[in-house]
Amino acid sequence: MLSICKKRKHVIETIRSKIDSIFPGENPSEGYGLGVDIENFREYTFGDDFRKIDWKISSRQPYISYPKFMIREYREEKALHLLCLLDASESMAFKRKWEMAIITLLTLIELARRRKDIVGVVAASGKDTILNTGFIGSKGLSDYILRIICRGELRPHGIVDLKYVTRALSRNLNRRTMIIFITDLAHDIDDLNYFISVLINKGHSIGMFFTLEEYELSIPSAGLMTIEDMERDNTVTLLDKFEVEFTNRLLKEHFDKVASLLRLYRVPFVILTSINDIIRNISAFIEMYRVIKVRAYV
């Protein structure tokens, strides 16, 4: 059983309070809001947020007996659709990767709740969708997801077929959607390229969270070592430090290819190597969410 299952309510409340503390008192307005498009300008009145002052417009206003400040009013943001795509392949079962992925998912759901967006969760393994919530309100979704995981109804197995997943999403997503993929580095670079290019060309915006164990980025030189491929049930034995160094070069080359691909398509991504990374890097979640929301909104 995952350690988070022993304190389910505490985990969710911790995530909620952390996110809520970053957006104190921010409530959506009925008319003008915090959107990305400027709707209008009007004169500053007492109580307005001074950060909305447009200094260029204000400098052109006639000075009578006092300076006249003009503030920007933004078009209210529409509720957008966020699809959290969870990699539920066997490689995600390695050590604490699955637990990191679940906490990442819960954090995104709670962030969507705070931003008043509509959320869908899809967990995929092989050519199966082992969970598809559809797009629903985020209220209560964290509790539901964690409950079915802790009952053992959702656990990693098999191999994700990214091309199949891509085709399924292309058919079923009928409007611009924010897609955040929670996964690891165990993907063929061509499959990952297909996934990103097809969905971006369909008008969707994409972000990625990679949950990794430290040894997946660099294997320590510690004598005889056996590496297991959990998805394909293969093992490789490293006999000396030269084989370890060679393997590390291959790991670095693969990581560099993935990073280059993501930079090419301007896909924001975050590397997580511990559960503490998630709590410490809430700002990284918020920034990614902001970037992909702007791209989906415009």
CATH of residue 275's domain is: 3.40.50.410
Which tokens sit at 83?
């699809």
pLDDT of residue 81: 92
Q: Name the pTM for this structure.
A: 0.78
Q: How far apart are CA 114 and CA 117, in angstroms?
A: 8
Instruction: Mark whether 55 and 121 lie in a shared domain.
Output: no
- SS3 track for 125-193: ECCEEEEECCCECCCCHHHHHHHHHHCCCCCCCCCCCHHHHHHHHHHHCCCCEEEEEEECCCCCHHHHH
Instruction: Mark whether 139 and 68 lie in a shared domain.
Output: no
pLDDT of residue 243: 75
Q: Compute how many other C-beta atoms are within 10 angstroms of the C-beta atom of residue 152.
A: 9
Q: How far apart are CA 116 and CA 103, in angstroms?
A: 20
The three-class DSSP label of residue 244 is helix
pLDDT of residue 269: 96
- Residues of the chain under the 50 pLDDT cut: 25-36
> In this structure, is residue 98 part of a structural domain?
yes
> In this structure, is residue 26 part of a structural domain?
no
* Bridge partner list, 179: 83, 206
Of 84, 86, 81, nearest in space to 135 by CA: 81
Instruction: Mark whether 45 and 122 lie in a shared domain.
Output: no
Instruction: Mark whether 200 and 71 lie in a shared domain.
Output: no
Q: Where are the alpha helices (DSSP H) in 68-116?
A: 97-114
Containing domain of residue 224, as a range? 3-21+78-297
> In this structure, is residue 27 part of a structural domain?
no
Q: Where are the alpha helices (DSSP H) in the chain?
A: 8-22, 55-59, 97-114, 141-150, 162-172, 189-201, 241-264, 275-280, 282-297
> In this structure, is residue 163 part of a structural domain?
yes
> In this structure, is residue 126 part of a structural domain?
yes
Instruction: Mark whether 179 and 165 lie in a shared domain.
Output: yes
Q: Compute how many other C-beta atoms are within 10 angstroms of the C-beta atom of residue 199.
A: 24
Instruction: Mark whether 160 and 126 lie in a shared domain.
Output: yes
pLDDT of residue 32: 42
pLDDT of residue 240: 61
pLDDT of residue 215: 74
pLDDT of residue 35: 47
Instruction: Mark whether 50 and 177 lie in a shared domain.
Output: no
Instruction: Mark whether 95 and 121 lie in a shared domain.
Output: yes
Q: How far apart are CA 241 and CA 106, in angstroms?
A: 40
Instruction: Mark whether 142 and 153 lie in a shared domain.
Output: yes
> In this structure, is residue 53 part of a structural domain?
yes
Instruction: Mark whether 159 and 252 lie in a shared domain.
Output: yes
Q: Are 170 and 85 contacting, i.e. CB atoms less than 8 angstroms apart?
A: no
Instruction: Mark whether 171 and 248 lie in a shared domain.
Output: yes
Instruction: Mark whether 141 and 93 lie in a shared domain.
Output: yes
> In this structure, is residue 194 part of a structural domain?
yes
Instruction: Please count the structural domains in the chain.
Output: 2
